[in-house]
Amino acid sequence: MRKKYTNIAVPEELALTIDDFVKKNKLGFRSRAEFAIEAIRNKLKK
């Protein structure tokens, strides 16, 4: 079964900052979405 996804809105400036971070840092993120999912999970753990 495929996972269902939904969209969230972030300010354009933040989205561009995330894109830049993903491109420059070799941390295994392939996309803005992967970065956001990991960041949200980490925040929820705290």
Q: Does residue 16 fall inside a structural domain?
A: yes
For residue 8, the model assigns a pLDDT of 93
36 has a pLDDT exceeding 90: yes
Determine the structural domain holding residue 22 and report its residue range. Answer: 12-45
Give the Å distances, CA to CA, from 31 to 1, 46.
Answer: 22, 24
pTM exceeds cut of 0.75? yes
For residue 26, the model assigns a pLDDT of 82
CB atoms within 10 A of CB 22: 19
CA–CA separation, 35 and 45 (whole Å): 16
Quote the percentage of the chain above a pLDDT of 70.
100
CA–CA separation, 2 and 12 (whole Å): 29
Q: Does residue 7 fall inside a structural domain?
A: no
**Torsion 43-22-14-2 (CA) sign:** negative
The per-residue pLDDT for range 5-20, each reduced to its tens digit, is 899 999 999 999 999 9
Q: Does residue 31 fall inside a structural domain?
A: yes
